[in-house]
Amino acid sequence: MTAAPPYLRYEEIRRSALADLDAYEKLTRDQAARLRLGRLRDHVAYALSASPYYSERWSAHRGTVIDHLDDIRKLPFTTKRDLREAYPFGLVAVDRREIVRYGESTGTTGSPTSSVITYEDWIRGNVAVERSVGHVFGPGDLVFVAIPYELAFASYDLDRALEQAGAGVVAVGTLSRVCPFERMVEMMWRVGPTGLVCTPSRALRLYDMLADSGRDPAEVGLRTFLYVGETCSPAKLAKIADLWGVRLSNAYGSTETNSLGLVCAAGSLHLTEDRHLFEVLDPETAEPVPDGTAGELVLTTLVSRAMPLLRYRTGDYVTVSGEPCVCGSPNRVLAHHGRVGEQLVHGGRRINKLALEEVVLSTEGTGLYWAAGITDDGLVVKVETENGDPGGLCAAVTRRVEDAFGLRPAVSPIDRAQVRRAMDRMLKPGSLGLDDLAAVS
């Protein structure tokens, strides 16, 4: 008898995925590593034979012996450039009839890249997201999902996971003509969501718009903010949590892979190591860094049938900790520090933008917004002031930045209205820079 197509086997696939996830979470670290090794062997062989890109470009690597997880280093890297060259279907390893979702990157940093997924992989990944969001959302919650739905996986993934967790979903999206920020603010006031999913910068913008309209944002009744799509310093997150009076949660992923980091019941962001093999490498030497040291995240898919990726350099700057989490998961904990390419470089010094944000926004008296960049005059920082002494605050920020990075910046107040105009026209407002401010001056 012919098996039913996957889309008619939803409950079967979901039950199997939940059972597999429960079994995996009970494994020790060593047992989980052995499971990954078996999956790695099978998946490398699969990618090198079934993916048009790998079978043609990496034919010399067929037969690569994988006896240890570190043997993945016998293979070269896959880069963003490779993905662009393979666009749209060069990396697809299945018949098009098996594709259930197709997505693309925003293209804000170059030509777009594509991604596809099969139905079973989509449901299995979604079950893991459901388990994660179920720690902070459930029946009685009404959640505004304010991230792009166009060409995206993440919004639909979270949308479906929230439903399965019992929450109600309001798919407001972002930068939409149907639901611009003004309408979203009005809806928040009238509908009263208990949850919000968006970038941290969007959450600040929505707060401002409510306050500017003469309304008290606290009266919306928001309880939980799940932030995605933007890295954020602890100082900025603390300001957001304090403003809204909410608890925070987050998720981490990419266009090419969907979810890569999910929060546990204890609030830690765990790598999805049951579905991916992760390496953390020095961005310049491509050598592994010690546990707990920041580096570039490199991933290899372990179960992706539609679009396997081998040693994909994500460009994300992260720290991975092997310290056990109180939740008992065998998966390591991730801290995301932004993009490798977003570091500010001046005079031979490299400054991580997120680390700079932490120093700036943790200075007493700073407001919600800031921007920085390198000009002919060196490091320039603009910051919002909350007190009546902008000169004194700018001097304090100057001292703290110089103490932290050994570089004396030029610090001046920022115009909040200018920031708002810049943010409202950006797909990714967290990457606000001096050029963005100049474009709306």
Residue finishing a domain among 324, 341, 358 = 341
Same-domain status, 145 and 235:
yes
Q: What is the pLDDT of residue 102?
A: 97
User: What's the DSSP call for residue 324?
Assistant: P
Q: What is the pLDDT of residue 431?
A: 66
Same-domain status, 307 and 365:
no
Same-domain status, 222 and 199:
yes
How far, in Å, CA of 411 to CA of 405, rounded?
Answer: 14
pLDDT in tens, 169-223: 999 998 788 999 899 999 999 999 999 999 998 999 999 999 999 999 999 999 9
Whether residue 258 lies inside any domain: the answer is no
Same-domain status, 144 and 242:
yes
Q: What is the pLDDT of residue 248?
A: 98
Q: What is the pLDDT of residue 175?
A: 79
* Regions in the chain scoring below 50 on pLDDT: none
Same-domain status, 347 and 337:
no
Can you give the CATH number for the domain in which 151 is found?
A: 3.40.50.12780
Residue finishing a domain among 188, 220, 253 = 253
H, E, C per residue of 52-66: HHHHHHCHHHCCCCC
* pTM flag (> 0.75): yes
How far, in Å, CA of 335 to CA of 12, rounded?
Answer: 34
Domain that holds residue 310: 6-123+264-341
Same-domain status, 119 and 213:
no
Same-domain status, 190 and 297:
no
Same-domain status, 146 and 53:
no
Same-domain status, 238 and 159:
yes
Whether residue 131 lies inside any domain: the answer is no
Q: What is the pLDDT of residue 73?
A: 98
Residue finishing a domain among 222, 253, 284 = 253
Q: What is the pLDDT of residue 221?
A: 98
Same-domain status, 310 and 405:
no
Same-domain status, 86 and 15:
yes
In total, how many domains does the chain have?
Answer: 3
